[in-house]
């Protein structure tokens, strides 16, 4: 049962509970079941407890005001708050929520300013609800004016914002076109909950705004790894690949087989690959440079086939494909070239060189515009 499909039976229960002196355990239990069906586990637990140990009248009035507001009866909610006000002369966040439901924006703004002078305790779900209500009224700045000082109070108490709060902050900043300010909040949210797709999508769009299409491709692929059926990630990926000029990667997306690999005019000599188990390629469009590496690895594998395996030989090989202007194509060809290796091999694409992430490497090769179109970089 959702908020919007509340049955008349529940409204009847709320009316009965609003009489206070007629409250019975079964009524609290029915409200608990309703809140549980709406996904509000915390409220469900509270109402279930009240079926055993009824709350004080002021506490019940406050809870009923919230529920009346949730079912869309703002008059009943206002009545509950007014009754509570006779015994508790304190302005509350519930009053702010009610004013927003009633679209009384001037009164809501004034009340919010008063509440922020000495903020009453506000749980995260209630805070998110207030932010949602301000946004429904198309007032993102007012929502931000509420969230920012409360975040400061949280930080002073040593509390760290949750992923949902980071998302809310980032989303509000984006609504106000403050994209650079929003970016670190999306990053913070991703660090807290790495399996989320939405922060990665927003970071991808920010990368396009920063004219970093390779980074945008990376974020789109990260989203698709988490959710292969994501509605918007393929569009972001295609837009970023177009910005890169990654024609062969786009052909792969369209199930077209690009042209064959173009062999290097002057490939690296076999001595360069000696002892190379961790390799990084920076800025390459195609994987033909890997042919010599694969041949050397296979030769080493044959030489060592009848000798005891050492710890080093059992460690997987590592290939990093960094900052490719045609990333999907490069990875596709690298996997084809290395498919028959007898060694375990990890292949990872990344949008930019990060020494701390990618080191230590045995060899680092960078693409060049001039013959032989590659050069070695000191790892």
**What is the tens place of the pLDDT at every residue in 221-270?**
999 999 999 999 999 999 999 999 999 999 999 988 777 777 777 889 88
Pick the closest to residue 176 from 139, 228, 217, 131 (CA basis).
139
**What tokens does 81 get?**
């708050």
CA distance 167 to 187: 10
Phi, psi at residue 23, to the nearest 5°? -65, 135
Q: How far, in Å, CA of 92 to CA of 272, rounded?
A: 72
Mean pLDDT for the chain overall: 87
Residues 132-151 pLDDT 10s: 999 999 999 999 999 999 99
Query: What average pLDDT does this structure show over 159-186?
Result: 96
| Residue 308: per-residue pLDDT | 46
Give domain limits for the chain.
Answer: 3-154+163-193, 270-300+315-377
CB distance 292 to 320 below 8 Å = no
Burial 313-333 (b: 16+ CB within 10 A, else e): eeeebbbbbbbbbbbbbbbbb
Q: Is 344 helix (H, G, I), strand (E, B) or coil?
A: coil
**Predicted confidence band of residue 7 (pLDDT cuts 50, 70, 90):** low
For range 176-204, the mean pLDDT: 97
Residue 218 has pLDDT above 70, yes or no: yes
120 or 212, which is more confident: 212
CB 276 within 8 A of CB 363: yes
Q: Quick one: average pLDDT of 208-212?
A: 97
pLDDT in tens, 66-104: 887 788 777 777 777 776 554 343 468 888 998 998 899
Question: Dihedral (C-alpha) 69, 73, 77, 80: value to the nearest 10 degrees?
Answer: -140
Report whether CATH 1.25.40 matches the domain 3-154+163-193: yes
State the Cα–Cα distance between residues 367 and 324, nearest whole angstrom: 9
**Taking a C-beta distance cutoff of 8 angstroms, is the pair 92, 112 a contact?**
no
pLDDT given at position 83: 65
Q: Is the pLDDT of residue 122 over 50?
A: yes
The answer to whether 291 and 267 are in contact (CB under 8 A) is: yes
Dig out the tokens for 305 from the structure: 């086939």
Q: How many helices (H) and strands (E) does the chain have?
A: 19, 5
The mean-pLDDT minimum among 38-52, 166-180, 364-378 falls in 38-52
Q: Cα-Cα-Cα-Cα dihedral of 208, 210, 216, 219, to 10°?
A: -120
Distance (Å, whole) CA 63 – CA 123: 14
Percent of the chain with pLDDT over 90: 52
Of 27-41, 200-214, 290-304, 358-372, the least confident: 290-304
pLDDT band for position 292 (cuts 50, 70, 90): very high
> Residue 178: CB partners within 8 Å, gap ≥ 6?
none
Tokens linked to 129: 């609800």
pLDDT at 84: 59
pLDDT tens, position by position, 293-318: 999 988 876 444 444 455 455 689 99
Task: Report CA-CA distances (Å) from 316 to 15, 36, 288, 343.
Answer: 67, 49, 21, 7
**Among the ranges given (12-26, 148-162, 349-363), the one the predictor scored with the smallest mean pLDDT:** 12-26
pLDDT at 273: 93
Q: What pLDDT sits at residue 86? A: 43
């Amino acid at each position: 049962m959702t908020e919007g499909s509340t049955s008349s039976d529940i409204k009847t229960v709320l009316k009965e509970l609003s009489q206070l002196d007629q409250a019975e355990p079964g009524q609290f239990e029915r409200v608990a079941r309703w809140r549980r069906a709406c996904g509000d586990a915390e409220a469900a637990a509270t109402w279930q407890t009240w079926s055993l140990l009824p709350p004080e009248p002021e506490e019940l009035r406050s809870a009923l005001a919230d529920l009346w507001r949730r079912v869309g009866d703002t008059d009943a909610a206002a009545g509950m708050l007014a009754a509570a006000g006779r015994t508790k002369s304190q302005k509350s966040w519930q009053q702010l929520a009610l004013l927003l439901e009633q679209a009384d924006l001037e009164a809501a703004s004034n009340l919010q300013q008063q509440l922020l002078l000495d903020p009453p305790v506000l749980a995260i779900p209630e805070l998110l609800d207030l932010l949602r209500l301000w946004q429904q009224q198309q007032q993102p700045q007012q929502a931000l004016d509420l969230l920012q000082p409360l975040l400061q109070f949280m930080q002073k108490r040593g509390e760290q914002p949750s992923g949902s709060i980071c998302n809310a902050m980032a989303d509000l900043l984006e609504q106000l076109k403050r994209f650079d300010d929003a970016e670190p909040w999306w990053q913070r949210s991703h660090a807290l909950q790495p399996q989320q797709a939405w922060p990665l999508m927003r970071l991808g769009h920010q990368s396009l705004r920063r004219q970093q299409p390779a980074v945008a491709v990376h974020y789109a692929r990260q989203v698709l790894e988490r959710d292969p059926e994501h509605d918007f990630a393929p569009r972001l990926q295609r837009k970023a690949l177009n910005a890169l000029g990654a024609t062969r990667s786009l052909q792969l997306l369209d199930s077209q087989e690009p042209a064959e690999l173009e062999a290097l005019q002057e490939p690296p000599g076999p001595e360069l690959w000696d002892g190379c188990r961790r390799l990084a390629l920076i800025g390459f469009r195609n994987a033909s440079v890997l042919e010599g590496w694969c041949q050397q690895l296979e030769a080493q594998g044959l030489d060592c086939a009848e000798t005891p395996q050492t710890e080093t030989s059992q460690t997987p090989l590592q290939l990093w494909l960094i900052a490719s202007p045609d990333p999907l194509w490069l990875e596709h060809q690298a996997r084809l070239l290395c498919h028959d290796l007898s060694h375990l091999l990890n292949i990872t694409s990344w949008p930019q060189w990060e020494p701390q992430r990618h080191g230590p490497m045995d060899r680092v090769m960078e693409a060049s515009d001039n013959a032989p179109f590659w050069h070695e970089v000191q790892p």
